[in-house]
Chain A
Amino acid sequence: MLEIKNLHARIVDDGTEIIRGLNLTVKAGEVAAIMGPNGSGKSTLSYILAGREDYEVTEGDILYNGQSILEMDPAERATAGIFLAFQYPMEIPGVATMEFLKVAMNEQRKARGEEPLKVPEFLKRVKEAAASLSMDINMLKRPLNVGFSGGEKKRAEILQMKLLEPKLCVLDETDSGLDIDALKIVSDGVNALRSPDRAIVVITHYQRLLEHIVPDSVHVLYKGQVIKSGDKSLALDLEANGYAGVIGEAA
């Protein structure tokens, strides 16, 4: 489903190269974990997948279902089924969360040639999704993410993911800022989305999240490259021994 080939990318503003020849393949139905020390390029990778303009791809390609997405803007990628759950979801004053959800769902439906959702059906879906994440529906009457706690923001991201039903989910440090209960709720939400036609990329620092969302593959990112791949035991190994060993091997 996702094929990243020899990707090189830099920050537009200052030309700093962050991704330096990254290769990664994630198949439909697979949950891939990306781990790595701070500054290895994990969040950058997630932004590049979503199409953020602050980064420029200088070499290589990103294929989604066999098609390059490099020329697509973020909205086109999203309607094609790519979803990024942000590490730091943006607070947007003045945009009511409900209104935002409705516009996002209907814009995606429109792009796929589907009819907009009728209001009762929309409300029903939102209520169900919110209940499954133990979210208070009244929170959604507030402006988007404004005044939400760190945990509430992360839940709101997963709520959007549930409602938009993407095919490729990229979760950028979704575990940061979550207490143990919230981690469980959010992980259950992600696990409920596991399906044979959906791929999930989980970016995290810690093994903790992977106890709840058990990955099929684990990839270590260092200096903008995948330096080691393995199964879930690799994450346990990293937790026990740190990144130093893996980095040493690669060097």
Chain B
Amino acid sequence: MNMHAQPQRTLAETALIDAFGERLSLLPGDGAVMVKRDDAIEAIKHGLPTRRVESWHYTDLRRLLTKVPAFEAGAVAKALAPVLEGSAVLPVLNGVSSAKLPEIDGVTVQRLSEKLTDGSVAPGLDPYGDDDAIGALNTAFVADGYFVDIADGTELEKPIELQNLQAGGQSHVRLLARVGAGAKAIILERQTGEGDEAFVSSVSQLVVGDGAEVTWLIVQEQPETATHLAQFKAHIGKDAKLTLFVMNAGGKLVRQEVVVRTTGEGADFKLRGINLLAGDTHTDTTMVLDHAVPHTTSTEVIRNVVTGKARGVFQGRINVHQYAQKTNAKMACNTLLLSDDGEFSTKPELEIFADDVVCGHGATVTEIDHNHLFYLMARGIDEKSARGLLVKAFVAEVIEELDDEALVEALEARLDGWFSTHG
């Protein structure tokens, strides 16, 4: 007899377990997929992670997730004009992919529901560890999304925008992409919606082929009532480059995980992140980066603006494997704290098992520089505008580094949008 004492389930845990029972018959998947779903919900039944789980220390999901809304089958979300003009848009509306898809040269797009039904995605559904609550939640409930395959050598003329738009209730989406050897692509992942009570899980999985170059941009602008649990996982091949840009500018409870592994020599990873935090919200960006082979490089720059009662977290863990010699990795997390009630926690971790590497990290928390403020005001710019300019400058620096005029303009417009409502 099992005498193990289970703590009483929270409302959210109960809601999730009940929802799984109700949804099960509607979820696509062959036998292999359904087994993964069962395993995943078992993990949830053991309880959501608390602060006692190291990787969730600053985001006690069990305490913070106070309730989970039911599915709203009738809710309607509408596709949006893309962030980058001219992008091919692949919308997931209220958790459902579109049957009508744009034709893009060198690109094959499949609905994920089909790949769940035929079981071809089953091997990728395993959570990456015991503490992978987002992976488990998503595997249990995922119903749709896309698989985007970009053929070897294809240079995409237009960006692709993957839109995950919620309209309230729950949605669980997976976005898979393979960028073939030598291919070049800009892919934007848009996470937003208009549902008041929303619970979203979204997992993106990317394979960057040898010599390929990918810029992947996550623009998260959920309403201030939504819970958004997201994961981005990538493998970067030989001499391939991945730039991941993450902008969190919304959501009530947000966790964006970034799980990246360099798999071929010469691979390069750049993470550039902006967290614009306002209101009474909690936003966590957690990165686990594995330098798994020799001669790979990475830089991570995270900039945070904290206003109101917002709380932010950045955890950045870099694992340099034993034979991953000549690794070069640098991580920085800078926070502009604009309110006495806001807070930001930074936890850099370097786990280095190789002996010939260059790794560094730094973290700062600052207020607005009074010398800068004085200089701008001495030119006639009133205090409010001057502060606005300086705060925007602090994060815009990260965007400007992307070095692509159309990208920079489009993202700065998103920034302006945020500042006009929260400035």
Contacts and interface: CB of A to CB of B under 8 A. Distances in A.
Residue among B370, B379, B392 having the largest count of chain A Cβ atoms under 10 Å:
B379
Interface stretch (B87-95, B285-293, B380-388): B380-388
Nearest to B382: A75
Contact of A78 (B377, B393, B395, B400): B377
A53 B374 CA distance: 8
Given A53-B370, A95-B390, A103-B389, A75 B381 contact: yes
B380 A94 contact: no
B396 A94 contact: yes
Per DSSP, are chain B's interface residues mostly helix, strand or loop, or mixed?
helix
Interface string A60-73: 00000000000001
B378 interface: yes
B377 A75 contact: yes
A44 interface: no
Central interface residue in B370, B393, B400, by most chain A CB within 10 Å: B393
A185 B397 CA distance: 32
B45 interface: no
Interface residues of B, number: 24
Nearest to B386: A75
A46 to B, nearest CB: 10
User: Which of A75, A84, A103: most chain B Cβ within 10 A?
Assistant: A75
Interface residues of A, number: 29
A104 B372 contact: no
A118 to B, nearest CB: 19
B375 A107 contact: no
A215 B194 CA distance: 66
B43 interface: no
B382 A107 contact: yes
Nearest to A85: B378
A111 B372 contact: no
B418 interface: no
A95 B389 CA distance: 7
Contacts of A52: 374
Given A83-B378, A107-B380, 13 more contacts: A75-B386, A79-B380, A84-B378, A90-B371, A95-B376, A95-B390, A95-B393, A100-B376, A103-B381, A104-B380, A107-B381, A111-B380, A111-B382
Interface of A: 50-53, 73-75, 77-79, 83-84, 86, 89-90, 92-95, 99-100, 103-104, 107-108, 111, 143, 160, 164
11 contacts: A53-B370, A74-B377, A75-B380, A90-B372, A92-B375, A94-B392, A95-B376, A95-B389, A100-B376, A107-B385, A143-B397
